[in-house]
Structure 1
Amino acid sequence: MPEVPDSTGSRPTDGPLSSKGTVDPNSHTFWSQDTLVIGTTQRLTALTVQVRIAQTGGVQSSGHWQTMPADDFTITVGEADGELVYRWDLKPGRTVPAGQHAFAVQFNQTRGARDAKDDRYGVMAGSHAVWGGFERG
């Protein structure tokens, strides 16, 4: 599996890729959703998307979704290095059409306002990579 960039800062565009991460406005005291929208100007034959959610207290996965068929991806959710990690790997022989595609992660949290400043994403598509964080939408 390709290694997703694990960088600080952001690079929201690279070649045919563009990206934007937002915190869903319906997030509330006990639950949040971070949504990543990826744009591509060409068909992709390889794609890996990784979203890392900082453990800020009681963070546990409560789901995920994407606008492309789930059967096109191997999807994993687990914990690593104090973060909740969601990952989508495009299966061999599948493609991503040009356009915009959303990947969303949902999680429960300890009661209170949650700061998403340490949540981040990384995307690999062949030799192109984008990464960044999630802003209030």
Structure 2
Amino acid sequence: MTGRRDVDEELRARLREAAGAHTPDRARILARVERGMTVRDRPGQHRPARPPLPGWVRVAGATAAVAGVLVAGGYAVASAVKDDAPTQRSVATSPGPREPVPRGPGSREGGSREGGPLWSRGAVDPHSNEFWAQSNITLRTSAPLTALTVELRVAQTGSVTSTGAWRSLPEGDFTFTVDERDGFLVYRWTLERGRTVPAGEWMFAGQYNHERGGRDAGGDGYSATATAASGRLSVEGGFTPRG
């Protein structure tokens, strides 16, 4: 049994070596097959008569014969060495990182992310028109405020004049002023001493005329300072266009 196994191993080794060194001469094999087919059709041979085959059929047959020789040879070598073929493996990949989601303009947020319970947003009121506008400041607080000052600054872009102001909190709880300062129309609300702003969402709005046409609010701004049990708070921001 040992001798038979040694013979088999030696045969496999020689077949591997021959397969690695052998390069089939395809052109030569094709010529030999073509030549054999030509001799077979020469006159004088005692064969039954038959119509000649077209040239493309003969070439195709020769090519098929060559392919058969090459495939047979490759199969014989592969059968002898198939036990040494490597095992295929698959690799899994993980997805890439996700893109962050951007935050919208005109918003400033306090609370647990910025040291206090105060959030704010500025926007031009959608009911504004080509002669008149209203700028809205929305404040949201999750805790009562014992002090609050809100300031709205409207840039003097041409013929900007105040037509009024309002807030959603009681009028008697605030002192209100409006004047022009450093190129801005300034609205200011100050909470009266001893009054409290309860937790909730509240709005402060300033109204004004301006030159005809769409007014650019890009130079406007607001700020708010407040006091809660957790300490002093502040927010500020700009204004999103009316929409």
Report if TM-score (shorter chain) is over 0.5: yes
1:28–1:66 distance in 2 versus 1, CA, 3 Å: same
Q: 1:79 aligns with which of 169, 180, 184?
A: 180
Q: Is the 8 A contact 1:72 1:94 kept in 2?
A: yes
Question: Take 1:120 and 1:71, find their aligned partners in 2: how far apart are those partners?
Answer: 25
Decide which of 102, 106, 109 is 1:13's aligned counterpart.
Answer: 109
Q: Which residue of 2 aligns with 1:63?
A: 164
1:102 & 1:10 partners in 2: Cα distance? 15
1:52 equivalenced with 2:153 (yes/no): yes
Q: 2:190 aligns with which of 89, 111, 134?
A: 89
Greater share of residues in helix = 2
Secondary structure of the residue that 2:157 maps to in structure 1? coil
RMSD: 1.4
Partner of 1:98: 199
1:13 to partner: Cα distance: 1.8
Q: Which runs of 5+ in 1 are unaligned?
A: 1-8
Q: Secondary structure at the match of 1:134?
A: coil
TM-score of the two chains, using structure 2 as the length reference: 0.52
Q: Out of 117, 121, 134, which is 2:239 matched to?
A: 134
Q: Which string of whole-angstrom CA distances, capped at 9 and with x for unpartnered residues, describes residues 53-109 of structure 1? A: 000000000011100011100100001001000000000000000000000010000
**1:3 alignment counterpart:** none
Instruction: Look up the SS of the partner of 1:135 in the other structure.
Output: coil
Distance (Å, rounded) in 2 between the aligned partners of 1:12 and 1:119: 15
TM-superposed deviation, 1:10: 7.3
Q: How far apart are the structure 1 equivalents of 2:234 and 2:195?
A: 19
Q: Displaced runs of 4+ in structure 1, greater than 3 A?
A: none
- Cα distance in 1 for residues equivalent to 2:191 and 2:169: 10
Structure with greater proportional strand content: 1
Instruction: Tell me by how many angstroms 1:112 deviates.
Output: 1.1
CA contact (8 A) 2:123 2:239 kept: yes
Which secondary structure state, in structure 1, belongs to the residue aligned with residue 133 of structure 2? strand
Are the equivalent residues in 1 in contact too, given 2:107–2:122 (CA < 8 A)?
no
* Distance (whole Å) between structure 1 residues aligned to residue 210 and residue 135 of structure 2: 13
The TM-score, its normalising length taken from structure 1, stands at 0.91
Tell me how many residue pairs correspond in the alignment.
129
